[in-house]
Structure 1
Protein backbone atom coordinates (compact mmCIF):
# COMPACT_ATOMS: atom_id res chain seq x y z
CA UNK A 1 0.00 0.00 0.00
CA UNK A 2 1.08 3.44 -0.62
CA UNK A 3 -0.25 6.89 0.11
CA UNK A 4 0.16 6.04 -2.68
CA UNK A 5 0.15 11.14 -10.43
CA UNK A 6 2.84 23.95 -21.23
CA UNK A 7 3.52 20.52 -22.67
CA UNK A 8 0.35 18.74 -23.61
CA UNK A 9 0.38 15.47 -25.49
CA UNK A 10 -1.48 15.19 -28.77
CA UNK A 11 -5.20 15.08 -28.11
CA UNK A 12 -4.88 16.37 -24.55
CA UNK A 13 -7.98 18.20 -23.35
CA UNK A 14 -7.60 21.48 -21.47
CA UNK A 15 -10.41 22.46 -19.15
CA UNK A 16 -10.43 25.75 -17.27
CA UNK A 17 -11.67 26.28 -13.74
CA UNK A 18 -11.12 29.37 -11.60
CA UNK A 19 -7.38 29.54 -10.83
CA UNK A 20 -6.86 25.95 -12.06
CA UNK A 21 -5.95 24.47 -15.44
CA UNK A 22 -6.92 20.82 -15.99
CA UNK A 23 -5.04 18.84 -18.62
CA UNK A 24 -6.49 15.41 -19.39
CA UNK A 25 -4.49 12.64 -21.07
CA UNK A 26 -6.83 9.73 -20.34
CA UNK A 27 -9.53 9.15 -22.92
CA UNK A 28 -13.07 8.18 -21.96
CA UNK A 29 -13.27 4.44 -21.39
CA UNK A 30 -9.49 4.03 -21.33
CA UNK A 31 -9.41 2.85 -17.73
CA UNK A 32 -12.01 0.16 -18.40
CA UNK A 33 -10.12 -1.07 -21.46
CA UNK A 34 -6.95 -1.27 -19.38
CA UNK A 35 -8.80 -3.23 -16.69
CA UNK A 36 -10.16 -5.68 -19.29
CA UNK A 37 -6.68 -6.23 -20.72
CA UNK A 38 -5.16 -6.76 -17.29
CA UNK A 39 -7.84 -9.21 -16.15
CA UNK A 40 -7.41 -11.16 -19.38
CA UNK A 41 -3.64 -11.48 -18.90
CA UNK A 42 -3.57 -11.56 -15.09
CA UNK A 43 -6.41 -13.94 -14.28
CA UNK A 44 -7.22 -15.95 -17.39
CA UNK A 45 -3.87 -17.58 -18.23
CA UNK A 46 -3.77 -21.12 -16.88
CA UNK A 47 -0.72 -22.15 -14.87
CA UNK A 48 0.34 -18.59 -14.02
CA UNK A 49 0.12 -16.83 -10.66
CA UNK A 50 -3.05 -14.76 -10.70
CA UNK A 51 -2.22 -11.09 -10.26
CA UNK A 52 -3.70 -7.61 -10.62
CA UNK A 53 -2.13 -4.17 -10.40
CA UNK A 54 -2.71 -2.32 -7.11
CA UNK A 55 -4.16 0.62 -9.05
CA UNK A 56 -7.51 -1.22 -9.16
CA UNK A 57 -7.74 -1.17 -5.36
CA UNK A 58 -8.35 2.58 -5.38
CA UNK A 59 -11.89 3.27 -6.47
CA UNK A 60 -13.85 5.72 -4.28
CA UNK A 61 -14.54 3.08 -1.63
CA UNK A 62 -11.00 1.72 -1.75
CA UNK A 63 -9.51 5.18 -1.39
CA UNK A 64 -11.63 5.80 1.70
CA UNK A 65 -10.59 2.46 3.18
CA UNK A 66 -6.95 3.25 2.55
CA UNK A 67 -7.39 6.60 4.28
CA UNK A 68 -8.75 4.63 7.25
CA UNK A 69 -5.69 2.36 7.11
CA UNK A 70 -3.32 5.32 7.42
CA UNK A 71 -4.91 6.13 10.78
CA UNK A 72 -4.46 2.64 12.25
CA UNK A 73 -1.92 2.32 15.07
CA UNK A 74 -0.16 -0.55 13.27
CA UNK A 75 0.30 1.36 10.02
CA UNK A 76 3.32 3.60 10.59
CA UNK A 77 4.44 4.83 7.08
CA UNK A 78 2.09 7.80 6.78
CA UNK A 79 2.93 9.14 10.24
CA UNK A 80 6.67 8.66 9.71
CA UNK A 81 6.68 10.46 6.36
CA UNK A 82 4.72 13.36 7.83
CA UNK A 83 7.26 13.56 10.65
CA UNK A 84 10.08 13.92 8.11
CA UNK A 85 8.25 16.53 6.06
CA UNK A 86 7.40 18.60 9.11
CA UNK A 87 11.03 18.56 10.21
CA UNK A 88 12.77 19.00 6.84
CA UNK A 89 10.46 20.66 4.33
CA UNK A 90 12.54 23.86 4.44
CA UNK A 91 15.71 21.83 3.85
CA UNK A 92 14.09 20.13 0.87
CA UNK A 93 12.93 23.44 -0.61
CA UNK A 94 16.34 25.03 -0.10
CA UNK A 95 18.42 22.16 -1.49
CA UNK A 96 16.17 21.50 -4.47
CA UNK A 97 16.08 25.17 -5.50
CA UNK A 98 12.73 24.42 -7.15
CA UNK A 99 10.00 26.91 -8.05
CA UNK A 100 7.64 24.26 -9.46
CA UNK A 101 6.35 21.32 -7.44
CA UNK A 102 5.05 18.30 -9.36
CA UNK A 103 3.33 15.67 -7.25
CA UNK A 104 2.75 12.20 -8.72
CA UNK A 105 -0.28 10.38 -7.34
CA UNK A 106 -1.23 13.56 -5.56
CA UNK A 107 -4.43 12.38 -3.90
CA UNK A 108 -5.62 15.12 -1.55
CA UNK A 109 -2.18 16.84 -1.57
CA UNK A 110 -2.34 17.00 2.23
CA UNK A 111 1.34 16.22 2.85
CA UNK A 112 2.40 18.35 -0.10
CA UNK A 113 1.32 21.48 1.69
CA UNK A 114 4.39 21.34 3.90
CA UNK A 115 6.50 21.48 0.75
CA UNK A 116 4.40 24.27 -0.75
CA UNK A 117 4.68 26.27 2.46
CA UNK A 118 8.44 25.73 2.57
CA UNK A 119 8.94 26.73 -1.06
CA UNK A 120 6.83 29.84 -0.49
CA UNK A 121 8.85 30.70 2.61
CA UNK A 122 12.02 30.41 0.48
CA UNK A 123 10.48 32.90 -1.94
CA UNK A 124 10.54 30.51 -4.90
CA UNK A 125 7.07 28.97 -5.19
CA UNK A 126 5.56 29.71 -8.62
CA UNK A 127 3.62 26.67 -9.80
CA UNK A 128 2.05 23.46 -8.50
CA UNK A 129 1.33 20.51 -10.81
CA UNK A 130 -0.68 17.72 -9.17
CA UNK A 131 -0.74 14.55 -11.29
CA UNK A 132 -3.23 11.72 -10.77
CA UNK A 133 -5.61 9.35 -12.59
CA UNK A 134 -8.95 10.57 -11.20
CA UNK A 135 -10.12 13.79 -12.84
CA UNK A 136 -12.93 14.47 -10.38
CA UNK A 137 -10.78 13.90 -7.29
CA UNK A 138 -7.85 15.79 -8.79
CA UNK A 139 -10.00 18.79 -9.66
CA UNK A 140 -11.29 18.98 -6.11
CA UNK A 141 -7.80 18.77 -4.60
CA UNK A 142 -6.33 21.25 -7.10
CA UNK A 143 -9.04 23.83 -6.49
CA UNK A 144 -8.56 23.48 -2.74
CA UNK A 145 -4.83 24.24 -3.14
CA UNK A 146 -5.55 27.17 -5.47
CA UNK A 147 -7.98 28.59 -2.90
CA UNK A 148 -5.47 28.28 -0.06
CA UNK A 149 -2.49 29.65 -2.03
CA UNK A 150 -3.69 32.83 -3.80
CA UNK A 151 -1.58 33.70 -6.81
CA UNK A 152 -0.16 30.21 -7.19
CA UNK A 153 -0.40 28.77 -10.70
CA UNK A 154 -2.08 25.35 -10.40
CA UNK A 155 -1.90 23.15 -13.50
CA UNK A 156 -3.42 19.73 -12.81
CA UNK A 157 -2.59 16.79 -15.09
CA UNK A 158 -4.85 13.75 -15.36
CA UNK A 159 -2.79 10.79 -16.48
CA UNK A 160 -1.06 7.53 -15.64
CA UNK A 161 2.48 8.10 -14.40
CA UNK A 162 3.60 4.86 -16.09
CA UNK A 163 2.66 6.33 -19.49
CA UNK A 164 2.34 10.10 -19.26
CA UNK A 165 5.43 11.31 -17.42
CA UNK A 166 6.64 14.60 -18.80
CA UNK A 167 3.18 15.72 -19.90
CA UNK A 168 3.41 18.87 -17.84
CA UNK A 169 4.27 22.50 -18.65
CA UNK A 170 7.94 23.37 -18.87
CA UNK A 171 9.78 26.35 -17.50
CA UNK A 172 11.41 27.12 -14.19
CA UNK A 173 13.03 24.48 -12.02
CA UNK A 174 10.96 21.44 -11.06
CA UNK A 175 10.90 19.12 -8.09
CA UNK A 176 8.92 15.90 -8.60
CA UNK A 177 7.51 14.50 -5.34
CA UNK A 178 6.67 10.79 -5.31
CA UNK A 179 5.58 10.29 -1.74
CA UNK A 180 3.86 7.69 0.41
CA UNK A 181 6.14 4.79 -0.48
CA UNK A 182 4.27 4.37 -3.79
CA UNK A 183 7.57 3.57 -5.51
CA UNK A 184 7.49 0.30 -3.54
CA UNK A 185 4.45 -0.85 -5.54
CA UNK A 186 6.72 -1.16 -8.57
CA UNK A 187 8.85 -4.28 -8.95
CA UNK A 188 12.57 -3.73 -9.75
CA UNK A 189 12.24 -3.77 -13.58
CA UNK A 190 9.23 -1.44 -13.36
CA UNK A 191 11.12 0.90 -11.02
CA UNK A 192 14.07 1.04 -13.43
CA UNK A 193 11.75 1.99 -16.30
CA UNK A 194 9.98 4.56 -14.14
CA UNK A 195 13.21 6.24 -13.00
CA UNK A 196 14.57 6.25 -16.57
CA UNK A 197 11.37 7.84 -17.88
CA UNK A 198 11.35 10.39 -15.09
CA UNK A 199 15.00 11.26 -15.75
CA UNK A 200 14.22 11.78 -19.44
CA UNK A 201 11.40 14.15 -18.42
CA UNK A 202 13.61 16.46 -16.33
CA UNK A 203 16.40 18.90 -17.09
CA UNK A 204 19.81 18.80 -15.37
CA UNK A 205 19.56 20.20 -11.86
CA UNK A 206 15.89 19.38 -11.46
CA UNK A 207 15.03 16.93 -8.70
CA UNK A 208 12.96 14.05 -7.46
CA UNK A 209 11.88 13.52 -3.86
CA UNK A 210 11.00 9.88 -3.29
CA UNK A 211 9.53 8.31 -0.17
CA UNK A 212 10.61 4.77 0.68
CA UNK A 213 9.63 2.43 3.47
CA UNK A 214 12.79 0.94 4.97
CA UNK A 215 13.43 -2.72 5.71
CA UNK A 216 12.63 -3.50 9.34
CA UNK A 217 11.43 -6.06 11.87
CA UNK A 218 9.21 -8.60 10.09
CA UNK A 219 6.66 -8.70 12.90
CA UNK A 220 6.06 -4.96 12.54
CA UNK A 221 5.66 -5.32 8.79
CA UNK A 222 3.16 -8.14 9.24
CA UNK A 223 1.14 -6.14 11.76
CA UNK A 224 1.06 -3.09 9.46
CA UNK A 225 -0.50 -5.06 6.58
CA UNK A 226 -2.65 -7.50 8.58
CA UNK A 227 -4.34 -5.22 11.10
CA UNK A 228 -6.51 -6.70 13.83
CA UNK A 229 -9.52 -4.54 12.94
CA UNK A 230 -9.67 -6.03 9.45
CA UNK A 231 -9.55 -2.69 7.62
CA UNK A 232 -6.76 -3.85 5.30
CA UNK A 233 -8.67 -7.05 4.60
CA UNK A 234 -11.71 -4.99 3.56
CA UNK A 235 -9.48 -2.77 1.41
CA UNK A 236 -7.98 -5.82 -0.31
CA UNK A 237 -11.33 -7.53 -0.92
CA UNK A 238 -12.70 -4.30 -2.35
CA UNK A 239 -10.92 -5.05 -5.63
CA UNK A 240 -13.37 -7.92 -6.10
CA UNK A 241 -16.27 -5.49 -5.78
CA UNK A 242 -14.54 -3.34 -8.42
CA UNK A 243 -14.36 -6.31 -10.80
CA UNK A 244 -18.00 -7.15 -10.14
CA UNK A 245 -19.11 -3.58 -10.76
CA UNK A 246 -16.92 -2.82 -13.77
CA UNK A 247 -16.94 -6.18 -15.56
CA UNK A 248 -20.15 -7.84 -14.36
CA UNK A 249 -18.10 -10.55 -12.62
CA UNK A 250 -19.63 -12.66 -9.86
CA UNK A 251 -16.83 -12.81 -7.29
CA UNK A 252 -18.01 -13.63 -3.78
CA UNK A 253 -15.65 -11.54 -1.60
CA UNK A 254 -16.61 -13.70 1.41
CA UNK A 255 -14.94 -16.66 -0.34
CA UNK A 256 -11.51 -15.01 -0.20
CA UNK A 257 -9.28 -14.41 2.83
CA UNK A 258 -6.79 -11.58 3.11
CA UNK A 259 -3.15 -12.38 3.83
CA UNK A 260 -0.08 -10.15 3.46
CA UNK A 261 3.13 -12.07 4.25
CA UNK A 262 6.69 -10.85 3.79
CA UNK A 263 8.66 -12.34 0.89
CA UNK A 264 12.26 -12.59 2.10
CA UNK A 265 13.76 -13.24 -1.32
CA UNK A 266 12.18 -10.18 -2.95
CA UNK A 267 12.07 -8.04 0.21
CA UNK A 268 8.45 -7.06 -0.27
CA UNK A 269 5.13 -7.44 1.50
CA UNK A 270 2.79 -9.32 -0.81
CA UNK A 271 -0.95 -8.66 -0.53
CA UNK A 272 -2.94 -11.75 -1.39
CA UNK A 273 -6.54 -12.85 -1.58
CA UNK A 274 -6.72 -16.57 -0.83
CA UNK A 275 -9.58 -18.61 -2.26
CA UNK A 276 -11.19 -20.52 0.62
CA UNK A 277 -12.70 -23.12 -1.71
CA UNK A 278 -12.58 -24.39 -5.27
CA UNK A 279 -14.71 -22.01 -7.30
CA UNK A 280 -15.41 -20.69 -10.77
CA UNK A 281 -15.96 -16.99 -11.36
CA UNK A 282 -17.70 -15.69 -14.46
CA UNK A 283 -16.32 -12.69 -16.37
CA UNK A 284 -19.13 -11.71 -18.74
CA UNK A 285 -17.33 -8.65 -20.11
CA UNK A 286 -14.60 -10.98 -21.42
CA UNK A 287 -16.90 -13.92 -22.18
CA UNK A 288 -14.56 -15.94 -20.01
CA UNK A 289 -14.48 -17.61 -16.64
CA UNK A 290 -11.65 -18.14 -14.20
CA UNK A 291 -11.12 -21.14 -11.92
CA UNK A 292 -9.68 -20.93 -8.41
CA UNK A 293 -8.45 -23.95 -6.50
CA UNK A 294 -8.90 -24.04 -2.74
CA UNK A 295 -6.00 -22.11 -1.21
CA UNK A 296 -5.01 -20.48 -4.50
CA UNK A 297 -3.80 -16.87 -4.15
CA UNK A 298 -4.60 -13.78 -6.16
CA UNK A 299 -1.81 -11.23 -5.72
CA UNK A 300 -3.14 -7.67 -5.61
CA UNK A 301 -0.09 -5.67 -4.55
CA UNK A 302 3.57 -5.81 -3.64
CA UNK A 303 5.06 -3.24 -1.29
CA UNK A 304 8.86 -3.29 -1.53
CA UNK A 305 10.97 -2.43 1.49
CA UNK A 306 14.32 -0.79 0.90
CA UNK A 307 17.86 -0.45 2.15
CA UNK A 308 19.12 3.16 1.87
CA UNK A 309 22.02 2.19 -0.39
CA UNK A 310 19.62 0.37 -2.71
CA UNK A 311 17.56 3.54 -3.21
CA UNK A 312 20.70 5.55 -3.99
CA UNK A 313 21.97 2.95 -6.46
CA UNK A 314 18.68 2.80 -8.36
CA UNK A 315 18.51 6.59 -8.64
CA UNK A 316 22.15 6.76 -9.71
CA UNK A 317 21.55 4.21 -12.48
CA UNK A 318 18.87 6.52 -13.92
CA UNK A 319 21.11 9.59 -13.95
CA UNK A 320 20.28 11.11 -10.56
CA UNK A 321 22.75 12.10 -7.84
CA UNK A 322 21.60 11.81 -4.23
CA UNK A 323 21.67 15.26 -2.64
CA UNK A 324 20.31 14.33 0.80
CA UNK A 325 18.39 11.67 2.65
CA UNK A 326 16.24 12.20 5.72
CA UNK A 327 14.65 9.64 8.02
CA UNK A 328 12.23 9.83 10.92
CA UNK A 329 13.55 9.49 14.46
CA UNK A 330 12.82 5.75 14.52
CA UNK A 331 14.50 5.11 11.16
CA UNK A 332 11.37 3.54 9.70
CA UNK A 333 10.95 5.66 6.57
CA UNK A 334 13.14 7.77 4.31
CA UNK A 335 12.79 10.72 1.99
CA UNK A 336 15.57 10.93 -0.62
CA UNK A 337 16.24 14.07 -2.65
CA UNK A 338 18.14 13.40 -5.88
CA UNK A 339 19.08 15.81 -8.68
CA UNK A 340 19.28 15.06 -12.40
CA UNK A 341 22.88 15.09 -13.63
Structure 2
Protein backbone atom coordinates (compact mmCIF):
# COMPACT_ATOMS: atom_id res chain seq x y z
CA UNK A 1 0.00 0.00 0.00
CA UNK A 2 1.51 3.36 -0.97
CA UNK A 3 1.19 6.34 1.41
CA UNK A 4 0.28 9.73 0.00
CA UNK A 5 3.24 12.06 -0.52
CA UNK A 6 3.04 15.54 0.99
CA UNK A 7 4.92 17.59 -1.57
CA UNK A 8 4.78 20.78 0.55
CA UNK A 9 7.07 19.48 3.34
CA UNK A 10 10.41 20.16 1.52
CA UNK A 11 9.29 23.70 0.76
CA UNK A 12 8.37 24.37 4.42
CA UNK A 13 11.71 22.97 5.60
CA UNK A 14 13.60 25.20 3.18
CA UNK A 15 11.77 28.29 4.44
CA UNK A 16 12.52 27.40 8.05
CA UNK A 17 16.22 26.87 7.33
CA UNK A 18 16.56 30.21 5.57
CA UNK A 19 14.83 31.97 8.46
CA UNK A 20 17.24 30.43 10.98
CA UNK A 21 20.44 31.08 9.11
CA UNK A 22 20.17 34.27 7.13
CA UNK A 23 18.32 37.18 8.60
CA UNK A 24 19.71 37.48 12.19
CA UNK A 25 21.46 40.82 12.86
CA UNK A 26 25.05 40.88 14.09
CA UNK A 27 25.55 41.16 17.84
CA UNK A 28 26.38 44.59 19.21
CA UNK A 29 29.73 43.35 20.54
CA UNK A 30 30.86 42.55 17.01
CA UNK A 31 30.40 46.13 15.84
CA UNK A 32 33.51 48.32 15.87
CA UNK A 33 33.39 51.00 18.60
CA UNK A 34 32.94 54.58 17.42
CA UNK A 35 36.29 56.28 16.83
CA UNK A 36 35.27 59.31 18.86
CA UNK A 37 33.09 57.73 21.56
CA UNK A 38 33.76 57.21 25.27
CA UNK A 39 35.70 54.04 24.48
CA UNK A 40 38.43 56.23 22.95
CA UNK A 41 39.50 57.22 26.49
CA UNK A 42 40.36 53.61 27.38
CA UNK A 43 42.62 51.88 28.03
CA UNK A 44 44.90 54.56 29.47
CA UNK A 45 48.57 54.01 28.65
CA UNK A 46 51.53 54.70 30.95
CA UNK A 47 54.57 53.51 29.02
CA UNK A 48 58.19 52.92 30.01
CA UNK A 49 60.43 55.37 31.90
CA UNK A 50 62.40 57.82 29.75
CA UNK A 51 65.15 60.40 30.25
CA UNK A 52 65.16 64.11 29.39
CA UNK A 53 68.13 66.35 30.16
CA UNK A 54 69.74 63.75 32.41
CA UNK A 55 66.55 63.24 34.47
CA UNK A 56 64.58 59.98 34.31
CA UNK A 57 60.77 60.26 34.40
CA UNK A 58 58.56 57.29 35.33
CA UNK A 59 54.90 57.54 34.21
CA UNK A 60 52.39 56.88 37.00
CA UNK A 61 48.61 56.88 37.42
CA UNK A 62 48.43 59.68 40.04
CA UNK A 63 44.81 60.70 40.62
CA UNK A 64 45.53 63.58 43.04
CA UNK A 65 48.16 65.20 40.80
CA UNK A 66 48.26 68.98 41.47
CA UNK A 67 51.34 71.05 40.59
CA UNK A 68 52.49 74.54 39.61
CA UNK A 69 55.09 75.29 36.97
CA UNK A 70 55.63 76.76 33.50
CA UNK A 71 53.71 76.02 30.32
CA UNK A 72 55.30 75.73 26.90
CA UNK A 73 52.79 77.01 24.33
CA UNK A 74 52.55 76.20 20.65
CA UNK A 75 53.59 72.54 20.42
CA UNK A 76 51.86 69.74 18.52
CA UNK A 77 48.12 69.29 18.29
CA UNK A 78 47.03 72.10 15.98
CA UNK A 79 43.69 73.64 16.90
CA UNK A 80 42.73 70.83 19.31
CA UNK A 81 42.70 71.59 23.04
CA UNK A 82 45.33 69.02 23.97
CA UNK A 83 48.68 68.79 25.68
CA UNK A 84 51.77 66.74 26.48
CA UNK A 85 52.91 65.63 29.95
CA UNK A 86 55.83 63.50 31.11
CA UNK A 87 54.23 61.19 33.68
CA UNK A 88 50.40 61.25 33.68
CA UNK A 89 48.50 58.48 31.82
CA UNK A 90 47.51 58.98 28.19
CA UNK A 91 44.84 60.02 27.64
CA UNK A 92 43.87 61.88 30.80
CA UNK A 93 42.17 65.17 31.58
CA UNK A 94 43.58 68.16 33.47
CA UNK A 95 42.53 71.66 34.39
CA UNK A 96 45.16 74.26 33.44
CA UNK A 97 44.95 77.65 35.18
CA UNK A 98 46.88 80.79 34.23
CA UNK A 99 48.40 82.25 37.41
CA UNK A 100 48.35 85.68 35.76
CA UNK A 101 44.66 85.93 34.83
CA UNK A 102 42.92 83.09 36.70
CA UNK A 103 41.48 81.71 33.45
CA UNK A 104 40.99 77.93 33.67
CA UNK A 105 40.49 75.48 30.78
CA UNK A 106 40.03 71.72 30.43
CA UNK A 107 42.79 69.97 28.43
CA UNK A 108 43.10 66.37 27.16
CA UNK A 109 46.65 65.01 27.56
CA UNK A 110 47.48 62.91 24.51
CA UNK A 111 51.29 62.99 24.14
CA UNK A 112 54.54 62.63 26.09
CA UNK A 113 56.53 65.81 26.70
CA UNK A 114 57.81 68.46 26.96
CA UNK A 115 61.16 67.17 25.78
CA UNK A 116 63.05 70.17 27.18
CA UNK A 117 63.86 71.15 30.76
CA UNK A 118 62.00 73.88 32.61
CA UNK A 119 58.39 73.27 31.50
CA UNK A 120 55.63 71.30 33.22
CA UNK A 121 53.31 70.87 30.23
CA UNK A 122 53.40 71.45 26.46
CA UNK A 123 50.09 72.89 25.23
CA UNK A 124 48.79 72.70 21.67
CA UNK A 125 48.30 76.03 19.83
CA UNK A 126 44.53 75.67 20.32
CA UNK A 127 44.86 75.16 24.08
CA UNK A 128 47.37 78.02 24.41
CA UNK A 129 45.04 80.37 22.56
CA UNK A 130 42.09 79.43 24.77
CA UNK A 131 44.20 80.02 27.91
CA UNK A 132 45.51 83.34 26.57
CA UNK A 133 49.22 82.42 26.45
CA UNK A 134 49.74 81.82 22.72
CA UNK A 135 53.37 81.99 21.62
CA UNK A 136 54.83 81.95 25.15
CA UNK A 137 57.31 79.47 26.60
CA UNK A 138 57.30 80.31 30.32
CA UNK A 139 53.71 81.14 31.31
CA UNK A 140 53.08 80.40 35.03
CA UNK A 141 50.30 77.83 35.40
CA UNK A 142 48.66 75.35 37.73
CA UNK A 143 47.97 71.84 36.40
CA UNK A 144 45.45 69.63 38.24
CA UNK A 145 44.19 66.21 37.15
CA UNK A 146 40.38 65.88 37.05
CA UNK A 147 37.74 63.31 36.08
CA UNK A 148 35.24 65.33 34.02
CA UNK A 149 31.82 64.07 32.88
CA UNK A 150 31.23 62.80 29.36
CA UNK A 151 29.62 66.10 28.34
CA UNK A 152 33.04 67.75 28.84
CA UNK A 153 35.12 64.91 27.39
CA UNK A 154 33.27 64.56 24.09
CA UNK A 155 34.16 68.01 22.65
CA UNK A 156 37.84 67.54 23.50
CA UNK A 157 37.95 64.16 21.72
CA UNK A 158 36.44 65.91 18.69
CA UNK A 159 39.13 68.62 18.75
CA UNK A 160 36.82 71.30 20.18
CA UNK A 161 37.06 73.24 23.47
CA UNK A 162 35.07 72.00 26.46
CA UNK A 163 32.40 74.19 28.09
CA UNK A 164 33.81 77.24 29.88
CA UNK A 165 34.98 76.82 33.48
CA UNK A 166 34.91 79.30 36.35
CA UNK A 167 37.94 81.55 36.77
CA UNK A 168 40.17 80.91 39.78
CA UNK A 169 39.73 83.57 42.52
CA UNK A 170 42.53 86.07 43.11
CA UNK A 171 43.13 84.92 46.69
CA UNK A 172 43.98 81.40 45.49
CA UNK A 173 46.13 82.78 42.66
CA UNK A 174 48.24 84.64 45.24
CA UNK A 175 48.83 81.41 47.17
CA UNK A 176 49.70 79.47 44.01
CA UNK A 177 52.08 82.20 42.77
CA UNK A 178 53.86 82.22 46.14
CA UNK A 179 54.21 78.44 45.90
CA UNK A 180 55.77 78.79 42.43
CA UNK A 181 58.16 81.51 43.67
CA UNK A 182 59.34 79.27 46.52
CA UNK A 183 59.68 76.34 44.13
CA UNK A 184 61.88 78.41 41.81
CA UNK A 185 63.82 79.99 44.69
CA UNK A 186 62.56 83.55 44.24
CA UNK A 187 61.70 85.62 47.32
CA UNK A 188 60.82 89.27 47.81
CA UNK A 189 63.79 90.69 49.73
CA UNK A 190 61.93 93.93 50.51
CA UNK A 191 59.40 92.00 52.56
CA UNK A 192 62.09 90.70 54.93
CA UNK A 193 62.63 93.04 57.94
CA UNK A 194 66.05 94.67 58.04
CA UNK A 195 68.30 93.70 60.98
CA UNK A 196 68.35 96.15 63.88
CA UNK A 197 71.52 98.27 64.19
CA UNK A 198 73.92 97.24 66.91
CA UNK A 199 74.07 99.38 70.06
CA UNK A 200 77.50 101.09 70.25
CA UNK A 201 79.63 100.14 73.22
CA UNK A 202 79.65 102.69 76.01
CA UNK A 203 82.95 104.44 76.65
CA UNK A 204 84.70 103.38 79.81
CA UNK A 205 84.61 106.00 82.59
CA UNK A 206 87.57 106.33 84.93
CA UNK A 207 86.52 106.19 88.60
CA UNK A 208 87.16 109.29 90.72
CA UNK A 209 90.30 108.97 92.87
CA UNK A 210 89.63 108.22 96.51
CA UNK A 211 91.17 110.62 99.05
CA UNK A 212 94.08 109.09 100.94
CA UNK A 213 93.58 108.85 104.71
CA UNK A 214 95.76 111.31 106.63
CA UNK A 215 97.51 110.78 109.88
CA UNK A 216 95.88 112.15 113.01
CA UNK A 217 99.01 114.22 113.57
CA UNK A 218 99.10 117.64 112.10
CA UNK A 219 96.38 119.83 110.80
CA UNK A 220 94.06 118.06 108.41
CA UNK A 221 94.00 119.44 104.94
CA UNK A 222 90.75 120.35 103.24
CA UNK A 223 89.54 117.70 100.86
CA UNK A 224 88.98 119.17 97.41
CA UNK A 225 85.52 118.92 95.98
CA UNK A 226 85.35 116.10 93.43
CA UNK A 227 85.31 117.29 89.85
CA UNK A 228 83.45 115.55 87.00
CA UNK A 229 85.64 113.11 85.17
CA UNK A 230 85.80 113.04 81.38
CA UNK A 231 84.95 109.66 79.91
CA UNK A 232 88.44 108.63 78.80
CA UNK A 233 89.64 105.02 78.92
CA UNK A 234 92.18 104.46 81.67
CA UNK A 235 95.68 103.67 80.53
CA UNK A 236 95.76 100.39 82.34
CA UNK A 237 92.38 99.05 81.25
CA UNK A 238 92.08 96.28 78.67
CA UNK A 239 90.55 97.49 75.40
CA UNK A 240 87.37 95.69 74.31
CA UNK A 241 87.97 92.83 71.89
CA UNK A 242 87.83 93.80 68.24
CA UNK A 243 84.78 92.62 66.34
CA UNK A 244 85.42 89.82 63.88
CA UNK A 245 84.01 90.69 60.49
CA UNK A 246 81.34 88.24 59.39
CA UNK A 247 82.17 86.35 56.20
CA UNK A 248 80.73 88.06 53.18
CA UNK A 249 78.08 86.07 51.30
CA UNK A 250 78.89 85.07 47.73
CA UNK A 251 78.36 87.91 45.31
CA UNK A 252 75.01 87.78 43.56
CA UNK A 253 74.98 87.02 39.85
CA UNK A 254 74.88 90.12 37.64
CA UNK A 255 71.43 90.93 36.31
CA UNK A 256 70.76 89.11 33.05
CA UNK A 257 73.34 86.35 33.63
CA UNK A 258 72.19 82.73 33.71
CA UNK A 259 72.39 80.69 36.91
CA UNK A 260 71.29 77.19 37.85
CA UNK A 261 68.91 77.24 40.82
CA UNK A 262 69.63 73.93 42.60
CA UNK A 263 67.28 74.49 45.55
CA UNK A 264 66.04 76.81 48.29
CA UNK A 265 66.17 75.73 51.94
CA UNK A 266 64.90 77.12 55.22
CA UNK A 267 67.98 75.71 57.00
CA UNK A 268 71.49 77.03 56.32
CA UNK A 269 72.94 73.66 57.32
CA UNK A 270 70.89 71.82 54.71
CA UNK A 271 71.73 74.42 52.09
CA UNK A 272 75.48 74.05 52.72
CA UNK A 273 75.18 70.26 52.54
CA UNK A 274 73.43 70.57 49.16
CA UNK A 275 76.07 73.03 47.95
CA UNK A 276 78.88 70.66 48.93
CA UNK A 277 77.19 67.79 47.09
CA UNK A 278 76.29 69.72 43.95
CA UNK A 279 79.26 72.10 43.70
CA UNK A 280 77.07 75.20 44.09
CA UNK A 281 77.23 78.28 46.31
CA UNK A 282 74.94 79.28 49.17
CA UNK A 283 73.23 82.69 48.97
CA UNK A 284 70.96 84.06 51.71
CA UNK A 285 67.61 85.33 50.42
CA UNK A 286 65.43 86.60 53.22
CA UNK A 287 64.37 83.65 55.35
CA UNK A 288 65.65 81.13 52.79
CA UNK A 289 69.07 79.92 51.69
CA UNK A 290 69.45 79.44 47.94
CA UNK A 291 71.93 77.03 46.40
CA UNK A 292 73.08 78.14 42.95
CA UNK A 293 75.83 77.50 40.47
CA UNK A 294 77.07 80.07 38.02
CA UNK A 295 76.74 82.68 36.70
CA UNK A 296 77.12 81.49 33.11
CA UNK A 297 77.58 83.70 30.09
CA UNK A 298 75.77 81.38 27.66
CA UNK A 299 72.95 78.84 27.80
CA UNK A 300 75.13 75.90 26.74
CA UNK A 301 77.27 76.20 29.88
CA UNK A 302 74.15 76.60 32.01
CA UNK A 303 72.59 73.47 30.44
CA UNK A 304 75.73 71.47 31.29
CA UNK A 305 75.59 72.64 34.91
CA UNK A 306 71.87 71.82 35.05
CA UNK A 307 72.51 68.27 33.84
CA UNK A 308 75.23 67.87 36.49
CA UNK A 309 72.91 69.07 39.27
CA UNK A 310 70.10 66.74 38.21
CA UNK A 311 72.51 63.83 37.92
CA UNK A 312 73.44 64.53 41.56
CA UNK A 313 69.80 63.98 42.53
CA UNK A 314 68.37 67.51 42.39
CA UNK A 315 65.55 66.91 39.91
CA UNK A 316 63.92 70.31 40.62
CA UNK A 317 67.01 72.26 39.51
CA UNK A 318 66.31 74.81 36.77
CA UNK A 319 67.94 77.60 34.77
CA UNK A 320 66.90 81.18 35.52
CA UNK A 321 68.13 84.74 35.22
CA UNK A 322 70.39 86.07 37.98
CA UNK A 323 68.90 88.71 40.23
TM-score class, shorter: under 0.3
Whichever structure has more strand as a proportion of its residues is 1
Whichever structure has more helix as a proportion of its residues is 1
Query: Relative contact order, CA 8 A, sep 6+: which one is greater?
Result: 1
* TM-score normalised according to structure 2 size: 0.25
